[in-house]
Amino acid sequence: MKTVFLRIIRTITFLFLGFSGLLAQADLTGAEAVIEKFSRQDQFSGVVLLAEDGKIVYQQAVGLADRTSGKKLEQGTKFRIASITKSFTALVIMQLYEEEQLSLDQSVNELLPGLLPDTFSSVKVRHLLNHTSGLPGETDEFYAEKLSPEVMIRRLTEREQPRQPAGTAFNYNNVDYLLLGLIIEDLSGKPWETVIRERILIPLEMHDTGFLEKDALPADLASGYLCENGDCVQEPDYYIENYFAAGSMYATAADLLKWDQGLYGEKLLSEAGKTLMYTSDPALGYIAFGSWTFHHPFIAGNPFTVERRGGILGFNSVIMRFPLAKKTLIILSNTDQFNPDTFGNSENIKEQLLRILFASGGD
């Protein structure tokens, strides 16, 4: 009797696993169809990765890494990730906070004396993290020549007044994170890049992630393109290193999944630290520290969402983490045709892939 019972259990298990495999296969076919449609319409060129429980359930590369040579994009192609860089910088600041090397309510002038004019004396670390500092934003001219973060900050703050009192309103800019990068350097006594590498990239074995310089770009880095009416031209040269701690990193989709997985557990930050980092204010547009966090209104069950977007000229990217549902969506694109900022727009590739990800079982 026991043998018969075990056979029945094995048969049911086999049938269930077979059904699950068919379901997953059907879902992947849906993802394939979505990407093919957008690629065929010249609306997407890049890499897409969908993961559940830390495992890749779908990954695809479509389009060209270099339109001059005809080199195709591959799953391991490197992309400029732009402002996704900010989430790495924010994490290190939170680590320093937990190590009691700084306070979130410490003024920037105390940490970096003499850098900001007195008109910005009320700006604190937390204001930089959630873009409520009131600091001015830079313009394209700041990337036409190689500039240090200090020079960029001084040029901006010496000629402009605060946009609003610190802490009162959201005002997105890169200067906030240039300052955070300098704070990291001052407290650690090391270059920001070295600190990111030692505290995050090496522990997570992110071997295909690093830092960009205009005249020393890594191999297998996609070229970025600006497109209009089907015609695409390569983005102009600029000093990407000037983005520093706000946007100078590159990565592959697979490495960003390692980043996603590294944020589970307490390897990088305590649970209390992550709760603080991911607590957002609806009045400020749901901005948290280095990302946006919210309960997604267009997905069944409204799962808790951590979203970080990035965009520089021809590169647009997004990583969407669902820590409780343990699902991840990563999209890296090397044209300006993908818009990561759409929210609930069912015609956008991001929204269509999200529906597929959450139809594949689980929350």
Token reading at 254: 């697979």
Give, in degrees to the nearest 5, the angle at Cα 132 between 131 and 138. 55
Q: pLDDT digits over 17-66, tens only?
A: 333 333 344 467 799 999 999 999 889 999 999 999 999 999 999 999 99
Q: What is the DSSP string of 5-45?
A: HHHHHHHHHHHHHHHHHHHHHHHHHHHHHHHHHHHHTT---
Residue pLDDT tens, the chain, 363 long: 434 333 433 433 333 333 333 334 446 779 999 999 999 988 999 999 999 999 999 999 999 999 999 999 999 999 999 999 999 999 999 999 999 999 999 999 999 999 999 999 999 999 999 999 999 999 889 999 999 999 999 999 998 999 999 999 999 999 999 999 999 999 999 999 999 999 999 999 999 999 999 999 999 999 999 999 889 999 999 999 999 999 999 999 999 999 999 999 999 999 999 999 999 999 999 999 999 999 999 999 999 999 999 999 999 999 999 999 999 999 999 999 999 988 878 889 999 999 999 986 544
pLDDT at 345 (0 to 100): 83
Q: pLDDT digits over 299-316, tens only?
A: 999 999 999 999 999 999
**Beta carbons of 63 and 46 less than 8 angstroms apart:** yes
pTM (two decimals): 0.91
pLDDT at 291 (0 to 100): 98
Q: Which residue has the tokens 């191999």?
A: 219
Type of residue numbered 175: V
Q: What is the dihedral of CA 160, 164, 165, 167, to 10 degrees?
A: -120
pLDDT at 230 (0 to 100): 81
CATH of domain 44-358: 3.40.710.10
Provide the residue ranges of all domains of the chain, joining segments of one domain with +.
44-358
pLDDT at 360 (0 to 100): 64
End-to-end CA distance of the chain: 38
